Structure 1
Amino acid sequence: MPGTPAPSVGTWLRVSDPERRAGATPRVALAALFTGLLTAWLLFDGLGVNLLVCGAATAVGAGFAARVAGRRIRPWTAVWSLLALALLVVPAWWDAGWPALLAAGGALALASLALHGGRRWAGVLFALPGLLWQPVPAVRWAWTSVQGRRLPGRGRIVPVLKALAVAAVLLTVFGLLFASADAAMADLLGNLSPDLDLGRLPGRAVLFVLGTATALGFAHMAAGPRRWDRTVIRPGRERRRLEWALPLVALNLMFGVFAVIQAVVVLGGADAVLSNTGMSRSEYARQGFWQLSVITVLTLVVVAVAKRWAPRTTDVDHRLARILLGLLCLLALAVVASALGRMWFYVDASGLTRLRLWVLVVEVWLGVVFLLLIAAGLTRRAGWLPRVVVLSGMLTVAVYGLMGPDAIVAEQNVTRYEQALKTDPHGAAIDLRNVRRLSADAVSALERLPEPQRSCALQLIGQELEGESRPWYATNLAAARARGILAQRPPVDSRAVGRTACDRAGLAYEDL
């Protein structure tokens, strides 16, 4: 309304509070404690199927809290929840650590978004890291809720628990004294007591606290989420048409010139690149890829800033903003295509690595974002844009993790080496410094290499798999498959292969 003062930061934080929050029932508290115990037991030895189990337990506790609050599942809630579940499958399927951590972080963010909801940019972006500020209020919420309830049978259960605690303390103290006094008693008590590694207790205690706090945090969100969509973001002050449009016109012209040059230079092939730049295709690709990637990200920033300060008083202003920003996004697609083309040239010349595959995936996603921005500019209502952009990003993370990056890197390098053997048997080489650092996901592809390349590539992976002994819940399908392959045909010992043989086998390229 005219004359209404702009809300302060404290005001919009208070407005985003839930209208009501259901209390934590004993079932919610017990589910959180159970999740904490599962976390302490399962996650100490590594990531694998255990992450999926702990995620399911956390979802059960949040479901109890949501049911008490009277919340219902909506379509977008189901979408975010199913995608979070797909992300948690990545550590159970593949062995590589980076995709597993990325998938776990994405699953936590999506679970927070599923419980908070959100349609606008503020609602979506503030909901993704929503778990970060939940644990302390959630523990306070659970304690006050359960403390104020009258539990059935409390008069009978509490004395029994106190008696068991006192008995445990007495047996521990006197048992240690008897064990130190008599060897036979020590042997008897050692056989009766569980085998506990006291050195692991602090780590398991930390995991128990983290697991319980995380479960309570999600239950706290489910019982009454913040309404981040109500966050008031004032539009930027309108700029004059010339002041705003002239920089964009100049930038569009520069992007257009770049697109024309790329069409002339790159589409002409390797010979055109060499004649116009004096560089090989690999050198040309490496020289400009990172700069083009930075330009892609900066263009998104320019679009966001220009949209905020664009003139919007008349229909002409709206139309001009759409045309200039849409043209900039369209030309940015040419930059994305050029960056992808350069990286493709580089991979074709030097092989694929983890980093090269990751930046290729990110660049493709940035291209999708520009397409979504263009589509939003062509429609009158673009309320779908924030959620679809996040959906595209999380789908990218899920696809990247589920496709097995290390397996793809190994497959591409092995296939490239096999093709080189057919054309030039004496000059063929594989970048062992790249492939031998991969995880167990790469074993199926590296197994096809001839000796001594095979043993040189599998030495480190075999030693890592042989040196670790994980329970079933902390391993993954790729590691189990790799152990089976290496058990049937183990790599030759490094002392038998020799450093010189591995050098001759193909340590030929530098990593990106």
Structure 2
Amino acid sequence: MSEQSSEEPGTAGTPPAPEVAGVPTPGGGASAEGTGRERPAPRGRAKTSAQVPSQGSDPDEPEVPARPAYLQGPRPPADPWKRRDQQQPPGVLATLRPSPPHAIRPATLWSVLATGLLSALLLGEGLGPNVLLVALPAALAAFFAARDAGRRLRPWTAVWAVGGLVLLVVPAIRDAGWPVFLAVVSALALGSLALHGSRSWPGVLLGSLGLFPSVAAGLRWGWRGVRERADDSRGRVRTAVRSAAVALVLLVVFGALFAGADAAFADLLGVLAPDVSVGDSPWRVLLFALGLVGALAAAYSAAAPVRWDGITVRPGRPRNRVEWALPLVVLNLLFAAFVALQLAVLLGGYDKVLEETGLTPAAYARQGFWQLLWATLLTLLVIALALRWAPRDGARDRTLVRGVLGVLCVLTLVVVASALRRMDLYVDAFGLTRLRISVAAVELWLGVVLVLILAAGVFGARLLPRAVAVSAAAGVLAFGLISPDGLIAEQNVERYRSDRTIDISYLQGLSADAVPALDELPEPLRSCALEDIGRTLATSGSPWYATSLGEARAREILEERAVQDHGNICFELDVREGERDVSEETDTYDPY
């Protein structure tokens, strides 16, 4: 059978393309199987899905048949990792920290390197003036980084920075480990506040720990800066290394010559030069790494601080006046009843109370101090929760809140005074120890916090978080400056002079700060109290940068009057049971 071709109207001169039976041709027509007659597409009918041209195609080009749906495979899945990264919200630190700082500058790099070197050279033998010497280049690194980032020195930043450096004076003058530890931790907290500039309660609490989020970022920042500086100034780096090597060789050669020529100069070099040996190299490397990482974290925090003030704590739902005030008024009445009795005790009228209770003054004091301390702490918690749910509708509500909480603060101050009075009675009966002076200092600081809360109710609470932080730092500084071990020794020596007993076994565990007071005891009590301290000082051999002023003074006293050997007499000395606090443990040594 032969095929006959024909032309569609309007397509003159263009022959139709051949077609397969049942399949539309590019021209749009279809032919029946076994015939040559062409059947035009009906007009007015919409094209089928196989005839719809693809999006973006030229209407003048022939239509390409679409692939049937049952022949289409499943779409390839999107990249799950990429989609998750794009949809993941930014972290908390990313929203609180500004954009990363510019490349680290040479002044910051040299200060960081100096911090690491001084840490490795000076911090291996103990704590003393070396802590302040290491902190100075770290502070310079933070200052240079903040200046390069465009930050200005604000008054509160200066207060935090100066306060942190002043706290590091405590290791230089005190030998006791516990006030030194408190001073170093408080100095780190104040330094972190200086770097981040916090002012709210979340900012002050979290800002004091703000160096930890900057450790990894500071290391990356410093490494990028070192690589960029090394690529840009290879010649200058080589020159600096050569100059440092030549200077070191000159110091070693001429220092050895001068030391051999003069014994006094040799002794001076032996005292000033750090004692570095091969055996403690791993420890020195660790100290170098810690100093380097800490200085980089401080510099990065100064250049890109975490704005902890951006964390807001929503206030609680305000309560109505009766619901809020009724429990606090009842608590005030309870405090007032207790304070009425305590005023009589504070004014010296506790003899009648002791007669009615059948307790001795020491037992009465011991029975109530810890309860009053916990009552003070719980009162501060009650005040914080009451402020969270206080009514806030207008001036009358503000007056109600100030009146109720103000009365509670005033009554709590009397409780603080009563607790301190009881501790005074307790110390008069059994002597002063580290634990007793510590808890008394905490109780005294809680009273200062209550006074600050009262002032905030009158003048406004904008400065209250920073004022509380300043009071805590000032308390730690005062605690270190008064020499608690020396104060303990002085009080016990005075009790002995007043024909009271003395606990030599406890005084033997004090630090070198207690030597000036214990030196005033008669023999054999003096030698028995100082033998352990003298033995420790004789075997320590700390260099000048790890020797505190208290330790140096104790060495001078023991060199002038050496400790005598009294044999077994020191083991036979003991306090009389009538003067001992029998409620405490049998071992009278109290390391706190």
Per the shorter chain, which TM-score range? 0.7 to 0.9
Rounded Cα–Cα distance in structure 2 between residues aligned with 1:474 and 1:145: 33
Which residue of 559, 574, 577 maps to 1:503? 574
Rounded Cα–Cα distance in structure 1 between residues aligned with 2:89 and 2:343: 49
Confirm or deny that 1:483 pairs with 2:555: yes
Q: 2:430 touches 2:579 (CA, 8 Å); kept in 1?
A: no
SS of structure 1 residue aligned to 2:204: helix
Tell which deviates more after alignment, 151-160 or 474-483: 151-160
Cα 1:382/1:494, change in 2 over 3 Å: same
SS of structure 2 residue aligned to 1:429: coil
Rounded Cα–Cα distance in structure 2 between residues aligned with 1:241 and 1:10: 41
Cα 1:51/1:374, change in 2 over 3 Å: same
* 1:188-227 matched pairs, under 5 angstroms: 197-227=277-307
RMSD, aligned CA: 2.7
Q: TM-score, normalised by structure 1?
A: 0.85
2:485 alignment partner in structure 1:
406
1:172 alignment partner in structure 2:
none
Rounded Cα–Cα distance in structure 2 between residues aligned with 1:407 and 1:60: 35
* 1:48-127 matched pairs, under 5 angstroms: 48-127=128-207
Letter in 2 for 1:431: D
CA deviations 1:14-72 (Å, max 9, x no partner) are 44212553432233223212211211111110000100100112111112212211222
2:447 alignment partner in structure 1:
367
Which residue of 289, 309, 320 maps to 2:389? 309
Letter in 1 for 2:549: L
Cα 1:243/1:23, change in 2 over 3 Å: farther
CA deviations 1:137-187 (Å, max 9, x no partner) are 21112112333446553157469979x99xxxxxxxxxxxxxxxxxxxxxx
Cα 1:314/1:159, change in 2 over 3 Å: closer
Cα 1:331/1:35, change in 2 over 3 Å: same
Structure 1 moving runs of 4+ over 6 Å: 8-11, 158-162, 504-507
Cα 1:483/1:9, change in 2 over 3 Å: farther
Uncovered stretches (5+) of structure 1, i.e. residues with no partner:
1-7, 166-193, 421-427
Rounded Cα–Cα distance in structure 1 between residues aligned with 2:376 and 2:433: 22
- Structure showing greater radius of gyration is 2
Cα 1:455/1:258, change in 2 over 3 Å: same
SS of structure 1 residue aligned to 2:124: helix
* 1:233-312 matched pairs, under 5 angstroms: 233-312=313-392
1:506 Cα deviation (Å)? 10
Letter in 1 for 2:152: R
Tell which deviates more after alignment, 346-355 or 9-18: 9-18
Rounded Cα–Cα distance in structure 1 between residues aligned with 2:354 and 2:566: 42
1:457 alignment partner in structure 2:
529
Rounded Cα–Cα distance in structure 2 between residues aligned with 1:208 and 1:343: 45
SS of structure 2 residue aligned to 1:44: coil
CA deviations 1:307-351 (Å, max 9, x no partner) are 011111232222211111111111111110111110011112211
Confirm or deny that 1:147 pairs with 2:218: no
Tell which deviates more after alignment, 201-210 or 331-340: 201-210
Letter in 2 for 1:76: W
Q: Which has the higher helix share?
A: 1
1:338 alignment partner in structure 2:
418
1:445 Cα deviation (Å)? 0.6
Letter in 1 for 2:548: N
Rounded Cα–Cα distance in structure 2 between residues aligned with 1:503 and 1:37: 50
Q: 2:502 touches 2:575 (CA, 8 Å); kept in 1?
A: no
Rounded Cα–Cα distance in structure 2 between residues aligned with 1:270 and 1:231: 50
Q: TM-score, normalised by structure 2?
A: 0.74
Rounded Cα–Cα distance in structure 2 between residues aligned with 1:350 and 1:196: 47
Tell which deviates more after alignment, 110-119 or 64-73: 64-73
Cα 1:479/1:159, change in 2 over 3 Å: closer
2:52 alignment partner in structure 1:
none
Rounded Cα–Cα distance in structure 1 between residues aligned with 2:275 and 2:125: 16
Confirm or deny that 1:320 pairs with 2:392: no
Q: 1:12 touches 1:232 (CA, 8 Å); kept in 2?
A: no
Rounded Cα–Cα distance in structure 2 between residues aligned with 1:197 and 1:338: 56
Rounded Cα–Cα distance in structure 1 between residues aligned with 2:276 and 2:145: 35
1:168 alignment partner in structure 2:
none
1:368 Cα deviation (Å)? 0.8
Uncovered stretches (5+) of structure 2, i.e. residues with no partner:
1-87, 246-273, 582-587
Q: 2:210 touches 2:306 (CA, 8 Å); kept in 1?
A: no
Rounded Cα–Cα distance in structure 2 between residues aligned with 1:57 and 1:292: 45
CA deviations 1:427-481 (Å, max 9, x no partner) are x311213322110001001001011111111111111111211111001111111
1:443 alignment partner in structure 2:
515
Q: 1:430 touches 1:507 (CA, 8 Å); kept in 2?
A: no
2:474 alignment partner in structure 1:
395
2:36 alignment partner in structure 1:
none
1:175 alignment partner in structure 2:
none
SS of structure 2 residue aligned to 1:232: coil
SS of structure 1 residue aligned to 2:374: helix
Rounded Cα–Cα distance in structure 1 between residues aligned with 2:501 and 2:173: 30
Q: 2:128 touches 2:546 (CA, 8 Å); kept in 1?
A: yes
CA deviations 1:170-205 (Å, max 9, x no partner) are xxxxxxxxxxxxxxxxxxxxxxxx996444222222
Q: 1:44 touches 1:204 (CA, 8 Å); kept in 2?
A: yes
Rounded Cα–Cα distance in structure 1 between residues aligned with 2:207 and 2:281: 34
Q: 1:134 touches 1:220 (CA, 8 Å); kept in 2?
A: yes
Rounded Cα–Cα distance in structure 1 between residues aligned with 2:452 and 2:236: 62
